[in-house]
Amino acid sequence: MNTKNIIGITAFAFITGIIVFLYFQGWIILQSPFANKCTTLTHISPTTKKKAKLVFWRNNNWCTEEAELIWSQNNDENILYLLNNLLSLMLDEEVLNKKISVESVMTSPTGQEALISFERNPLRKEAATFEKWMIIESIINTIRDNEIPVQSVRFLVHHKPLEDYHLDFSKGWSI
């Protein structure tokens, strides 16, 4: 065989290999000109702005602040936004001593119970039982005052039940 033919076949195979590699890595996208170019967006619920009440315990009394939040028809998203705003406010007001956020929220199929998963335990180990209880009550009161239709709340950390020596989190807390 001629060396020019070998070099040509080798170059063709090398370039074809590079193109196939880039295609499978997602760097090259091939689309048929006859394919339908319309895409349908699903699961987008209409959102509005709502003034929400954030309720927390500080200096032996209940404090209420209003915050303007994005509100949708999805209760899971509403609870997530609501509680992350509450936790940020409680950090600013020095009710909490470390930044805590809600990882995810899921309601039961009946919509009666909300499962709230934090990224870390919101309760300090050395805190008094009353202080821990008031943090939990702040969360419950905020959910109740914003008329979210759930009857109980379960508290989780990284999707596992929250553990505390003073308070029982093995069952849901009633709203």
- The residue extents of the domains of the chain are 48-174
Output the CATH code of domain 48-174: 3.30.300
Overall pTM surpassing 0.85 (yes/no): no
* Measured distance CA(114)–CA(20) in Å, rounded: 48
Q: Encode 132-158 in three state secondary structure.
A: HHHHHHHHHHHHHHCCCCCCEEEEEEC
* Measured distance CA(17)–CA(94) in Å, rounded: 60
* Digit-coded pLDDT (tens) for 15-27: 999 988 888 888 8
**What pLDDT score was predicted for residue 2?**
82
* Digit-coded pLDDT (tens) for 85-131: 999 999 999 999 999 999 999 999 888 999 999 999 999 989 999 99
